[in-house]
Amino acid sequence: MGAQLRVYKRRIRSVTATKKITKAMEMIAASRVVKAQRKVAASTPYARELTRAVTAVGTGSNTKHPLTTEAENPTRAAVLLLTSDRGLAGAFNSNAIKAAEQLTERLEREGKQVDTYIVGRRGVAHYNFRERKVAESFTGFTDEPSYADAKKVAAPLIEAIGSETADGGVDELHIVYTEFVSMMTQTAVDSRLLPLRIEEVAEEGTAKGEILPLYDFEPSAEDVLDALLPRYVESRIYNALLQSAASKHAATRRAMKSATDNAGELINTLSRLANAARQAEITQEISEIVGGASALADATAGSDN
């Protein structure tokens, strides 16, 4: 076998192996998307009921709570960025990071100091490499987040928003995550979690035209709100974590699918080249034989005369 042909054969073998791996990863990601979607669906009843309750307290009483009133002059804000622990998901992480950076820039333009909280090894690595300050980071659970993980993430944030701005507290809390729109589309979005806009919550929480009843609060509206809002934040973060996980798996699936397709194409091209090389080799050999034979024939013909 000629040297060229051997090189092609070797490359085809290596690309075939890669294709097998990406194909397997694609299938794994596909099954995980379904699982993650199911988790998102399972967490909806809790989130829906909680949202209803928050709306009920917010609209049904005149309670003022630090988590629902906007600071007159907000100077510090916290941004929670959700990325994944692992890569190989196309532009998933860079999109989320880009959205967070745009948000940070906007907040800084408004004169606010921004504390960044990060979930996921990818985001942490990005910020560490650029030597940017990270207030706190969480890693190790982005593939399958549990409610306990969401609580762990929410705890320092709720504490920061509860403390005075002068003592390192924050006035606002923003979250950047990747929304799972469909299998094909996932978009990085940012939204303000706190202070809460009751009107906005009301819009997503209740059906159109529904009038909430006048609730009796046990023990009191303030106490209920006090207990309710941290849970609300936790549930929102939990939901964002789940959506982010689902999006990550969908992005991985797509990235791996195109990798598999590319590998297939590469194998085709390489086999054509290998065939051409083999053909060239054969042609060469034939022409050498023919050339040799005719030279021999010429030589014998010459000696006859």
56 touching another protein, by CB under 8 A = yes
Choice from 62, 64, 133, 219 touching another protein (CB under 8 A): 219
> What burial class does residue 242 get, using C-beta atoms within 10 Å of its C-beta: 0-12 exposed, 13-18 middle, 19+ buried?
buried
**CA dist., res. 154 & res. 132, Å (int):** 22
Query: CA-CA distance, 148 to 58, in Å (whole number)?
Result: 27
User: H/E element holding 35?
Assistant: helix 3-60
Site for another protein, residues 83 to 142, rule: CB under 8 A: none
Give me the least distance between CB of 177 and another protein, in Å please.
Answer: 18
Which DSSP category does 215 fall into? P
Query: Of 12-20, 36-44, 70-78, 178-186, which segment contacts another protein by CB under 8 A?
Result: 36-44
**Binder of another protein out of 228, 237, 251, 270 (CB under 8 A):** 228
Nearer to another protein, 226 or 281 (CB): 226
Cis ω for the linkage preceding 219 (within 30 of 0): yes
Determine which residue in the list 9, 46, 74, 113 makes contact with another protein, applying CB under 8 A: 46
Can you tell me which of 32, 39, 122, 126 binds another protein, judged by CB under 8 A? Answer: 39
Q: How far apart are the first and last CA of the chain?
A: 41
Task: Please identify, among the stretches 68-76, 146-154, 185-193, 291-299, the one whose residues bind another protein according to the rule CB under 8 A.
Answer: 146-154
Number of chain positions touching another protein (CB under 8 A): 30
> Per rule CB under 8 A, is residue 238 in the interface with another protein?
yes
Residues whose CB falls within 8 Å of the CB of residue 53, separated by 6 or more in sequence, listed in order = 228
The residue among 251, 106, 226, 88 whose CA lies nearest residue 172 is 106
CA 175 to chain centre: 14
Nearest-approach distance from CB 216 to another protein, in angstroms: 5
What residues contact 46, with CB distance under 8 A and at least 6 apart? 235
Positions touching another protein (CB under 8 A) are: 39, 42-43, 45-46, 49-50, 52-53, 56-57, 146-147, 151, 212-219, 223-224, 227-228, 231, 234-235, 238
